[in-house]
Amino acid sequence: MPAILSEDQTRLLGTMPDVALSRLTGLSNLTIAGLRRELGILPYSPVTWSEEQNRLLGTMHDVALAKQLGLTNHQVRDQRIRLGIAVFSEWTAEVIDLLGKVPDLEIVQASEGKLTLPAVRAKRRKLGISVVRGPKPVPKGSKVLQPDVIVLLGVVNDYDIARRIGLDRSHVTHERLKLGVKAVNNRGRPGRKWSSEEDALIDAIPDAEIARKLSVTMAMIRVRRRQLGVEKPRSRASARSWTAAEDALLGERRVSEVAKEIGCSASSVYKRRAKLKVIRAQGPMPYP
């Protein structure tokens, strides 16, 4: 600082308004404020704080306490800093420990209005904690889990139990998790029973054709393929051996016709044609 106060003037910093000390020393307000901040001295406050008011500091947000006491935000903040009281935060160690262990909405409800759902979600994501899903609302008249049903948890999959007692699956899962029971190995919806004839199709025809033939989804076919240890279609396509006669068809016929005739996917035909740099055949018939 270009201007230096005397020792007596320095002791006056924070004991009176900066503007009053400015008049006394002949220095500008900004200079006085800068010297005060450099020495870590808070601005002068004309407010006389009672012990009861001091006990409120840090128990709520400064803005809320300022409104309650009829003071400015700065006056409350400065007094809190003078007494070395940490800023109020709803995020106590106990609340943070709940993140990822109970649904976000439960934390919001337990805070009694101090936390919002977006605030809880943002805090959880910032800490890299995964969300915990809560159970769906229990419909009126729903059954509760009886002892004879509880013994089935972890033995029968949650979907089967839910169907038996007429409850939503999420409630069964929630109760099982509360009791610390691990899910049954075949957890999830009951798998489809595949016959030996259907299994034989997995390695014989394209997945899309299996899906149409058996009225199943592509995902179900992929799962069954993994269970049987059958290689992926892409692996088989890349390992396919093309004969000279099949290669000759690439520039003469449509992709769909070639695929149908030699029993492979259209994608395999496209890739083979691109690999061999086959020029599309010229003729009246449009080429794909």
Residue 1 lies in a domain: no
What is the DSSP code string of 132-171? Answer: -PPPPPPPTTPPPPPHHHHTTBTTB-HHHHHHHHT--HHH
Residue 87 lies in a domain: no
Residue 287 lies in a domain: no
3-state helix, strand, coil in the chain (%, to 5): 50, 0, 45
Residue 281 lies in a domain: no
Q: What confidence category does residue 287 fall into, taking pLDDT thresholds of 50, 70 and 90? A: very low
Residue 209 lies in a domain: yes
Tell me the C-alpha distance between 218 and 237, whole Å: 17
* 161-184 mean pLDDT: 80
Q: What confidence category does residue 286 fall into, taking pLDDT thresholds of 50, 70 and 90? A: very low
Which stretch of 148-162, 182-196, 215-229, 271-285 has the lowest confidence by average pLDDT? Answer: 182-196
Domain shared by 152 and 183, yes or no: yes
Domain shared by 53 and 17, yes or no: yes
* 18-39 mean pLDDT: 84
Domain shared by 116 and 149, yes or no: no
Amino acid 1: pLDDT: 42
Q: How many domains does the chain have?
A: 5
Residue 97 lies in a domain: yes
Predicted TM-score of the model (pTM): 0.32
Residue 27 lies in a domain: yes
Write out pLDDT tens, residues 46-84: 777 888 888 888 888 888 888 888 888 888 888 888 778
CA nearest to 79, candidates 105, 45, 50: 45
End-to-end CA, the chain: 81
Amino acid 187: pLDDT: 39
Domain shared by 167 and 103, yes or no: no
Write out pLDDT tens, residues 220-279: 788 788 778 777 655 444 456 788 888 888 888 888 888 888 888 888 888 888 888 887
Range of the domain at 206: 196-230
